[in-house]
C-alpha cells in the first residue's frame, strides 16, 4: 500500500468511523428524520453504481436506473412510518417484469446478463445489505444489535488482517482471495466472538440474548461475515478488478467495505425475527 493510500485510509477511518457510529446511535428518531435509513439508502445507491464494474467485461449493460428506482422503493417500504406495505415478492416480480419488458425493446447485446445482473443486485444489495434498516428499527434492541453487528465485523476484519499478515502462511482460498490465510480467518472469527462475549458480560444487550444466542451471532459475524467477503472477492476475481471503485480512498468501494454485512445482516435479521421473535 502506498503512502498516499495509507494517508487516505487513515483519514477515512478518522472521519468515517465516528460519523457512522453517530448515525447508528441517532437511528431514525432524530426529529422524525430517518437518518440511519437514509444513510443505508445512500449506501445501496452507491453500491448499485458499482455493480456495472463487475459485469463490464461480460459485455453487460444493466439498467441501473431501474435497479436504483426499485432499491429506493424497497428502502422506503421498510420504514415503520410508512403506512403502505408492498410485499417483497411483489417488488421482485415487478422488477423482473419491468426489466424484461425494457430489455425486449432495448436491443442490447446481452439481455439475459442485464436482467440477471439487475435482479441479483436487487437481492444482494437491496434485500440482504438493506436489511440493516430493519434491524436498526427493532424495538428495544435495534440500536444495540446494529452497533454490535458493525463493531464485531470491523473487529473480525482487523484481527484477520493483523494476525494473517504477521503469522499467516497457508492460504484458505487462494483462487478467490489470494491474501487471506487460515490464521487470519481463524483470528477474525475468534475476535468477533470474543468481542460479543464481552458485550454479553457487561449486559450490553439488557438480557435479551442468552449465551447461546451470542455464540450464534459470533458465528454469523465472524464466520458468515467472512464468507460475505469471500463471495464479493469471487465476483471481483471474475471481473478482474481489485476494488469495486475508488470511492473510499485506501478502502476501495462501497461494496468492498460492506461485503461482510451483506451476509451478516440478513442472517442476524432472520435469527432475531423468525427464531427469537424480535421485531
Return the number of other C-beta atoms located less than 10 Å from residue 277's C-beta.
Answer: 7
Are 59 and 109 a contacting pair, CB within 8 Å? yes
Residue in 136, 147, 129, 146 with CA at minimum distance from that of residue 29 = 136
Give me the tens of pLDDT residue by residue for the chain, a chain 279 residues long: 455 555 555 656 667 788 888 999 999 887 678 999 999 999 999 999 999 999 988 889 999 999 999 999 999 998 877 778 889 999 999 999 999 999 999 989 999 999 999 999 999 999 999 999 999 999 889 999 999 999 999 999 999 999 999 999 999 999 999 999 999 999 999 999 999 999 999 999 999 999 999 999 999 999 999 999 999 999 999 999 988 887 766 567 899 999 999 999 999 999 999 999 987
Residue from 143, 146, 159 nearest 192 by CA: 159
Domain extent for 127: 3-275
Q: How many domains does the chain have?
A: 1
3-state secondary structure of 51: helix
Task: Write the CA distances from 15 to 21, 42, 148, 239, 251, integer angstroms.
Answer: 11, 17, 20, 31, 13
Amino acid at each position: 500500500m502506498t503512502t498516499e493510500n495509507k494517508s487516505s485510509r487513515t483519514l477515512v477511518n478518522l472521519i468515517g468511523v465516528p460519523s457512522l457510529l453517530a448515525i447508528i446511535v441517532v437511528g431514525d428518531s432524530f426529529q422524525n428524520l430517518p437518518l440511519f435509513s437514509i444513510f443505508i439508502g445512500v449506501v445501496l445507491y452507491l453500491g448499485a453504481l458499482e455493480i456495472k464494474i463487475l459485469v463490464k467485461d461480460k459485455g453487460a449493460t444493466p439498467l441501473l436506473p431501474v435497479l436504483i428506482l426499485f432499491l429506493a422503493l424497497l428502502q422506503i417500504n421498510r420504514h415503520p412510518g410508512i403506512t403502505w406495505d408492498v410485499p417483497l415478492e411483489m417488488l421482485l416480480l415487478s422488477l423482473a417484469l419491468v426489466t424484461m419488458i425494457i430489455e425486449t425493446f432495448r436491443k442490447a447485446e446481452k439481455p439475459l446478463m442485464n436482467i440477471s445482473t439487475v435482479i441479483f443486485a436487487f437481492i444482494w444489495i437491496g434485500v440482504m445489505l438493506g436489511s440493516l434498516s430493519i434491524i436498526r428499527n427493532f424495538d428495544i434492541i435495534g440500536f444495540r444489535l446494529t452497533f454490535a453487528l458493525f463493531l464485531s465485523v470491523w473487529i473480525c476484519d482487523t484481527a484477520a488482517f493483523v494476525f494473517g499478515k504477521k503469522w499467516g502462511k497457508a492460504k484458505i482460498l487462494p483462487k478467490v482471495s489470494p491474501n487471506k490465510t487460515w490464521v487470519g480467518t481463524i483470528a477474525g472469527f475468534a475476535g468477533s466472538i470474543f468481542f460479543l462475549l464481552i458485550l454479553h458480560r457487561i449486559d450490553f444487550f439488557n438480557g435479551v440474548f442468552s449465551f447461546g444466542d451470542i455464540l450464534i451471532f459470533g458465528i454469523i459475524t465472524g464466520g458468515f461475515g467472512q464468507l460475505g467477503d469471500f463471495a464479493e472477492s469471487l465476483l471481483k476475481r471474475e471481473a478482474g478488478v481489485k476494488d469495486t471503485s475508488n470511492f473510499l480512498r485506501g478502502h476501495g468501494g462501497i461494496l468492498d467495505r460492506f461485503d461482510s454485512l451483506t451476509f451478516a445482516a440478513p442472517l442476524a435479521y432472520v435469527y432475531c425475527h423468525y427464531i427469537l421473535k424480535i421485531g
